[in-house]
Chain A
Amino acid sequence: MIRLEDVRKSFGKQVVLDGVDLVVQSGETVAVLGRSGSGKSVLLKQVARLLRPDAGTIYVGDIEMSGADKATVMRVRSSMGYVFQFAALFDSMTLGENVALPLRRAGMSQEEALPRVSEILETVGLPDLGARYPAELSGGMRKRAGIARAVVARPGYLLYDEPTTGLDPVTTAVIDELMLQMKQELQATSILVTHDIQSAFRVADRVALLHSGRVHFEGSPDEVRQSEDPLVRAFVEGRQELWPPDSV
């Protein structure tokens, strides 16, 4: 389970998160929606302790992340897979070496990691591309490779940071399918940060809409579809006139 309680974060005078409460049950996938700049990625980075909240608590399992020591954070991170917005593959390594890194960190040699790396590259639709460098791949391929690296060690927690942003609809569907497949195979507790409402409906068990630094609405995809809340309608239907002016 991942639990956020009254999480707050500011950068200078800009308040990004202003008391976020959110619970993700074990094995559940929650999509966090919100406009660009609403603090979705900041929230995700705080769950992984890549950023620290100014106030509030974040539990990953039984571990309170913001107060945990470095060794504990490292241990929790080794049970997490993080899919970065632009994949964040290491330029100097081949695709195979990138994907093998979590296994090598767990003590395997490159040769020992090879069967699992080949298996996961095949799963994400990139077989026989292990020797390529990230610069030789398309944007969609890099995203899939990023997912492969995140899931190769079979993590218990999966954090997706806008995995479909900037992709064409077909590639978006492929990534969605991949996330569903990982959900079934790994039974991981997952947070999907996105502003792609269709992707959220396809993949998530529940959806949370972030607005003004807080969770404004939370519910199942069906509840979101049927909601009469003006902000939810504005987001689902892409209607700018329903969105409050001067807010993100």
Chain B
Amino acid sequence: MGLDSAVAWVGRATLNGVASVGRAASFTGAIVRSLLDVRTWLPLAAAQVRRIGVDSVPVALFIAVFTGIVLALQSSYTFTGVVPLYFVGVLVAKSIMLELGPVLTGLVLSGRVGANIAAEIGTMRVTEQIDALEMLAYEPVSYLVVPRVVAGIIAFPIVTALALVAGIGAGWLTSINLLDLSTQEFVRGVRMFYEPFDLSYPLIKAASFGAVVTAVGSLYGFFAGRGAEGVGIAATRAVVVGAMLILVLDAFWAVVLL
């Protein structure tokens, strides 16, 4: 690659990057403005809560259960002979509540929900259904995007709360069945460093993950390119960018709230 073409490539990449940020900012502004159009999005939000939340529960619980099992076994392996074994309860509960519960649930839902939204809205874009909505004098962001974003903000914390219970429950069952630990000892560990904020912190994070995953899926679907390939690219980018933003937000909340 010659110097000229390298400079041209950097210039194009910079312009594309700036354009993408501008488009995302403008889209976010449209979402915020459309929140006022309650008459359009409110009747549609309940169905989206069911689709985004209820339908995601099995996969979220599956991940949480196995995370709880592995955490209990690994912490026992680490602590044995060094730290009292009831610290297994501390590590399982703290890890799942503060980090693994919300983040793993967010990442799983980023794949499931983000891709689904991008593919659905992207298909509507390429089949002119979004144009049809506009012709029927509906505001597409109010009709398609806001119900999903609101549903994400509501459903992600609910699914995350269930995942916390499942993960800690799985850690407890593993501890009393596979480790030399009683229920009393496990619960003693869980309660030892518990703060009420440990419960609101993951739910705050989950709500922000829900907003980001649904908004990113909607954004990529809304601006999907032509045909099946365009929809496929939109779905892939929604998952990748959604997952990256979850990790960025995770660090952001740790800095701001802890």
Whether A45 contacts B131 by the Cβ 8 Å rule is: yes
Q: Mark A72-87, 1 if CB is under 8 A from B, else 0.
A: 0011011010101110
Is there a chain A Cβ closer than 8 Å to B55's Cβ? Answer: no
Q: Is the interface on chain B under 10, 10 to 19, 20 to 34, or 35 or more residues?
A: 10 to 19
Which single residue of chain A is at the shortest CB-CB distance from B133? Answer: A90
- Cβ of B136 and Cβ of A102 under 8 Å apart? yes
* Residues of chain B in range 110-159 having any CB-CB distance to chain A below 8 Å: 127-129, 131-132, 134-138
The chain B residue with its CB closest to the CB of A41 is B128
Partner of B138, one of A48, A84, A89, A105: A105
**Complex partner residue of B129 from A45, A48, A74, A90, CB under 8 angstroms:** A90
75-119 of chain B: CB within 8 A of chain A: none
Q: Pick from B127, B129, B135, B138: contact of A82, CB below 8 A.
A: B135
Q: How far is the CA of A27 from the CA of B140 in the complex (A)?
A: 30
Contact A78 B128 (CB under 8 A): no
Tell me if A208 counts as interface (CB < 8 A to partner B): no
Complex Cα spacing A238 to B136, Å: 37
Residue among A48, A50, A80, A85 with most chain B CB within 10 A:
A50
Residues of A within 8 A of B135 (CB): 48, 50, 77, 80, 82
Chain B residues with CB under 8 A of A77: 134-137
Q: Contact check, A86 vs B127: say whether CB atoms are below 8 A apart.
A: yes
Shortest distance from the beta carbon of B134 to any chain A beta carbon, whole Å = 6
Would you give the 0/1 interface string for A48-63, flagging 1 where the beta carbon is closer than 8 Å to chain B?
1010000000000000
A105-B138 Cα distance, complex, nearest whole Å: 8
A89 neighbours in B (Cβ, 8 Å) = 129, 132
When distances are taken between beta carbons in the complex, the residues of chain B under 8 Å from A84 are: 128, 131-132
Inter-chain contacts of B134 with A (CB < 8 A):
48, 50, 77
A101 at the interface (CB under 8 A from B): yes
How far apart sit A90 and B135, CA to CA, in the bound complex (Å)?
13
Q: How far is the CA of A108 from the CA of B174 in the complex (A)?
A: 58
- Beta-carbon contact of A101 and B127 below 8 Å: no
Measured CB to CB, the closest approach of chain A to B40, in angstroms, equals 10
Complex CA–CA separation, A82 to B131 (angstroms)? 10
What would 4 more interface pairs be, CB under 8 Å, given A85-B128, A88-B131? A50-B135, A86-B127, A88-B129, A101-B136
